Amino acid sequence: MSLKPIHDMGVAELAAAIADKKTSSVEAAQHLLARARQHEHLGVYLALNEDLSLAQAKAADARVAAGERTPLLGVPLAHKDIFVTRGFPTTAGSKMLAGYQSPFDATVVSQLAAAGAVTLGKLNCDEFAMGSGNDNSAFSAAHNPWDVSRVPGGSSGGSAAAVAARLVPAATGTDTGGSIRQPAAFCGITGIKPTYGRCSRYGMVAFASSLDQAGPMARSAADCAALLTAMAGPDIDRDSTSLDHPAEDYSAALTRSREGATAAQPLKGLRIGLPAEFFGAGCAPDVLAAVRSALSEYEQLGATLVDISLPRTELSIPVYYVIAPAEASSNLSRFDGVKFGHRARQYDDLIDMYKKTRSEAFGPEVQRRIMIGTYVLSHGYYDAYYLQAQKIRRLIAQDFQQAFTQCDVIAGPVAPSVAWTIGEKSADPMANYLADIYTLSTSLAGLPGMSVPAGFGAANMPVGLQLVGNYFKEGELLHTAHAFQQATDWHLKTPQGY
């Protein structure tokens, strides 16, 4: 029997094939590197380092030869270009960091490397992770493999497009206000943003520190579980917001059976809450139809649907777009043209050097957010904007705790529409912000959320079902998604030509 093409294998399948010596890590890396070059037009990779990737693959093959058999050993992955990675440039999608070489690896990168995964390259993203379409990347647009005239979503757009186009079996992403979940939905793949603080932020180029969270993106919940098991866990010495909870085996959680579950109804007893605010007129009918049909499937699997309310959903837009830019303006003040990054060629004095350096190298969306953040933190406006937003943030977090007294998991659409055409929203920043409505509140509360492929909407573009759990309930979310993926095949659909 001949082996199926390497690029058609998911993480678990490829790891097994490498462990069984049906292929090797070097062969897998070579195949996927050739595929990356073949599909350069998608604009997903910002950097490759073939020699380094192949050296890592060779080391993995040596571990296999020595008898090791672990879930990620030898599997090629790629990292969003927001994780600093030795041996590759790390740009965060910005001209400010063009060519930047980090002297160290992000914790998430080193943990995946220790598990034996091979770094295949760095993936395109919106500049400093600020955007919803990957069109704010300073280097190139990334394209959605389902329709190359459309955005892959953002900010982890390169990650989502790479997995959807079968260029890598899985990738890392980061989610500040939806940047894993929304591109996963737009590209028809699976992605999870864990509880805030579950994965270390050490070595993740900072956007909004109280919101940024790393997570895996892959074809299936099972593959996400394998990655998250390696990525999550405390990093107490290096990240002051890392939660001091031991790592978990999320793969084991996939098959853990619920009390009262049967083979036909593996989710019997699961209460799924549907927030009225997520199912209103603001959501496109094609998206709602796909989400509702996924929810019917959940009923077949034994779950009960419960009506709930998240009354401050609309307020999450101004609250998020005050808090995130405030933190961004502070974080991005480090880019001063002195210690690393771009420096203007000509300037009059120190202040002029700062201004010219920053104006030359930051793109328009980043400058806009720095302006918003600087303003809401400035004297006389701090209380009315920043402090008021933080107070409403607490109310939003409380709304979720109220909702979780009535249900175990919350479900709804990830985004109000399918992926839009590249350039369609470029001229109107508010249109981009409004499209984040269903993902922002989860981020503000610090809750885990995921996107699961749930069918197709307008123009045959993928639709994602969002699942949100309570703190530390990543295992339950992955289990809930896995049960759905055992009964459906939306997550296995591949865009034509890939």
Partner 1 sequence: MSLTLSDIGRIANLARLELSPQQSERMLTQLNGFFDTVEQMNAVDTTGVEPLAHPTAVIDHVSLRLRPDVASEVNDRDANQKSAPAVERGLFLVPKVIE
Site for partner 1 in 427-446 (CB under 8 A): 429-430, 433, 444-446
Q: Which of 367, 426, 488, 494 binds partner 1 (CB under 8 A)?
A: 367
Residue found by looking up tokens 């036909």 in the block:
264
Strand partners, 476: none
Using CB under 8 A, which of the segments 11-19, 126-134, 216-224, 363-371 binds partner 1?
A: 363-371
- 318 near partner 1 (CB under 8 A): yes
- 370 near partner 1 (CB under 8 A): yes
Selection from 132, 98, 95, 80 nearest residue 363 by Cα: 95
Using CB under 8 A, which of the segments 17-25, 153-161, 215-223, 347-355 binds partner 1?
A: 347-355
Asked if 64 and 18 touch (Cβ cutoff 8 Å), the reply is yes
For residues 491 and 484, what is the distance between their CA atoms, to the nearest angstrom? 10
**Which of the residues 123 through 152 are near partner 1 (CB under 8 A)?**
none
For residues 496 and 400, what is the distance between their CA atoms, to the nearest angstrom? 39
Q: Which of 16, 34, 62, 395 binds partner 1 (CB under 8 A)?
A: 395
**Nearer CB in complex with partner 1: 103/246:** 103
Residue 465, classed as helix, strand or coil, is strand
Asked if 262 and 268 touch (Cβ cutoff 8 Å), the reply is yes
**Contacts by 18-22, CB closer than 8 A, 24 or more apart:** 18/60, 18/61, 18/64, 18/73, 18/74, 18/75, 19/64, 19/69, 19/73, 19/74, 21/64
- 237 near partner 1 (CB under 8 A): yes
Q: Which of 147, 355, 486, 493 binds partner 1 (CB under 8 A)?
A: 355
**Nearer CB in complex with partner 1: 300/378:** 378
**Which of the residues 455 through 484 are near partner 1 (CB under 8 A)?**
471-472
Give the angle subtended at the CA of 223 by the CAs of 222 and 225, to the nearest 5°.
Answer: 65
**Nearer CB in complex with partner 1: 70/374:** 374
> Given 53, 156, 179, 251, which residue is catalytic?
179
Residue found by looking up tokens 């955005």 in the block:
151
Residue 413, classed as helix, strand or coil, is strand
CB of 396 to partner 1, least distance (A): 9
58 is catalytic: no
Q: CA 41 from chain center: how many Å?
A: 22
Q: Which of 392, 409, 419, 440 binds partner 1 (CB under 8 A)?
A: 392
Q: Which of 388, 426, 488, 494 binds partner 1 (CB under 8 A)?
A: 388
Using CB under 8 A, which of the segments 143-151, 263-271, 336-344, 487-495 binds partner 1?
A: 336-344
- 21 near partner 1 (CB under 8 A): no
Asked if 455 and 463 touch (Cβ cutoff 8 Å), the reply is yes
- 19 near partner 1 (CB under 8 A): no
Q: Which of 65, 264, 384, 492 binds partner 1 (CB under 8 A)?
A: 384
Annotated catalytic residues are: 80, 155, 179
